[in-house]
A and B are shown apart, each in its own frame.
Chain A
């Protein structure tokens, strides 16, 4: 097995691990506000999130920034809750609103990247090049993320197209569930 494969697998397993569901719930909350015909927006949002977490994953793993694990672990559910509240409240409308959503997804991505990096950094020694582990771990995360989006879109298809659920209801259902999960994470009861 190559170094690339090992860390690719770790990245993929980490984001798709049901025990580490905070990232999964965030991605679902991010997708929930968009009906199926706005898949381009979902793609852009997920890309913005990816850019965000790639930046901090790289900066933190290269030890250019240091944020305490406890703070990051608290902020991650805050990003989920904020996303859910905005799905329901919809403070941003129109073209500017869309740009704001992408900006926020990028900003929230920065926080999730810190979460990924705290683990990776603890395990990588100082002595060797960490470029390959960092890159392959990140690609693994992306593949896992795409899988989550695909599965969620499948579920959305069943409800929205096959069962004819209005999108607003679907959004409220998913966002409400995700907000509940994030509240439990915040209260430390999970």
Chain B
């Protein structure tokens, strides 16, 4: 009897499934971006990759008056890189060894539900301190967490930024 009831219960799942609205249009509720900063000593360059959930990124660009980019679809806009680069450079700022530095856009990649945005800071032949400011998505989501991971000559450091703390400083080689 119990086996029969168990079978009935398990049958319930495929029976309910097709009745549902296909894929409820529910945005994910995990508001996190992860930024990786790695020093390439040979090229004297900081390689920065910023992973942002693609739907959040699109929403943020629209909120700033930009177009819907439809990233990673057949209808993706031609000028998508410029819009993403503009958003990113308006939200993230770096000060390396006490000097404000510009971010050079290096492209983006599809990373499942996220988009990995790649930027570079050139002419960095040593890294003592990095001061960062990260305002990614904080005006859209109260619980947005912006994790930053630094790897400089094998030394790894993390800072966890968000709405309450938008700036952080990391020191290396001390």
Contacts and interface: CB of A to CB of B under 8 A. Distances in A.
Partners in one complex: yes
Interface of A: 1-3, 5-6, 9-10, 13-14, 17, 19-20, 69-71, 73-75, 78, 81-82, 85-86, 91-93, 96-97, 100, 104, 118-119, 121-125, 185-188, 190
Nearest to A189: B24
Give the dominant DSSP class at B's interface.
Answer: mixed
8 contacts: A1-B158, A20-B29, A100-B6, A121-B112, A124-B34, A125-B49, A125-B51, A188-B24
B34 A123 contact: yes
A113 to B, nearest CB: 14
Contact of A188 (B16, B21, B160): B21
Nearest to A21: B29
Contact of A123 (B21, B23, B32, B156): B32
Nearest to A90: B5
Contacts, number: 106
Contact of A20 (B13, B30, B160): B30
B107 to A, nearest CB: 15
Nearest to A100: B6
Given A96-B2, A125-B51, 4 more contacts: A13-B145, A121-B112, A123-B33, A125-B116
A190 B26 contact: yes
Give the dominant DSSP class at A's interface.
Answer: helix
A97 B2 contact: yes
A123 B54 CA distance: 11
B99 interface: no
B16 A78 contact: yes
A1 B143 CA distance: 19
Interface residues of B, number: 40
A17 B160 contact: no
Contact of B160 (A6, A69, A125, A185): A6
A17 B53 CA distance: 18
A104 B13 CA distance: 13
Contacts of B114: 122-123
B28 interface: yes
Given A1-B160, A78-B17, A124-B34, A19 B29 contact: yes
Contacts of B158: 1-3, 5-6
Contact of A9 (B9, B24, B160): B160
B26 A185 contact: yes
B51 A122 contact: yes
Interface in B98-156: 111-114, 116, 143, 145, 147, 149, 156
Nearest to B25: A188
Nearest to A63: B112
A133 B23 CA distance: 29
B20 A186 contact: yes
A73 B6 contact: no
A13 B116 CA distance: 23
B159 A1 contact: yes
